[in-house]
Amino acid sequence: MRCDGWDSFLTEVSSFCAKHDIEVPNMNNIFITMGRSPRNTQSFFNLHHYRYDLFNTVIDLQVQELNNHFTSANTELLLCVACLNPNSSFPVFNKEKLLRFAKFYPNDFSSSDLTILGNQPEIFILDVRSKNESLQLKGIAGLSEKMVKMKKDVVYSLVYKLVKFALILPVATASVERVFSGMNIVKTKLRNRIRDQWMNDCLVTYIESDIFDTISNDVVMEQFKNMSKRRGSL
């Protein structure tokens, strides 16, 4: 985006400005700093100001923020998943990255599976592109549905397994983050000796609060009464 995204970004912004009657500065004109005398400022073109001082600076700040949130391993994993994006006929397909993606799951991909994966993804991409099916695909979820519908999940079973892992990854990661976040709230200093089962029960009610909010107090009380009766009979 930083190296090649300026022209498309400028075109999009210019289209927006034309639609809403907003004046678009000429990039070849001298940039004038508001509130300062032209004699006391350094002269440079609008292109330099909007592209290098603003556009590139914002991109750099976003990259820095992403680097602070994601480790190098997480970033590599996301780049590997992006190789399965079918939009515009798999524009970032990379066989080596898909192999690297499979190696993140050593219990699910044996050494023989990795050998097969050396050729299967390329054959799959050629198969899909040759039938123009990739032009109708939107997202990895759409790719998964199309593979099942066309029986490609059987023919390219290892590729389909990678697609499934790519779909599960965001949900699993978010669930783990929610659990650890909830654990810090549930297990306080006053509950530092809480046992595993009781902590699990507390975490379930905290994390799935939307579901438990739909359960009335009468149902909960009735459940406790039934449990007390069963314990009394024992």
Model confidence over 98-129: pLDDT tens digits?
888 888 888 888 888 888 888 888 888 888 87
Asked if residue 152 lies in contact with residue 160, where contact means CB atoms within 8 angstroms, the answer is yes
CA–CA dist 10, 15 (Å, integer): 8
Cα–Cα distances in angstroms (integers) from residue 164 to residues 46, 60, 144, 148, 161, in the given order: 48, 33, 7, 11, 5
Model confidence over 159-202: pLDDT tens digits?
999 999 888 877 666 666 666 677 777 777 777 777 788 888 88
| Higher-scoring residue by pLDDT: 13, 199 | 13
| Mean residue pLDDT across the chain | 82
Listed by start position, the domains of the chain span 6-69, 72-171, 187-233
Model confidence over 27-61: pLDDT tens digits?
888 887 765 655 555 678 888 889 988 999 999 99
Cα–Cα distances in angstroms (integers) from residue 150 to residues 117, 136, 153, 219, in the given order: 20, 14, 8, 47
Query: Token pair 């009735």 is at which residue?
Result: 222
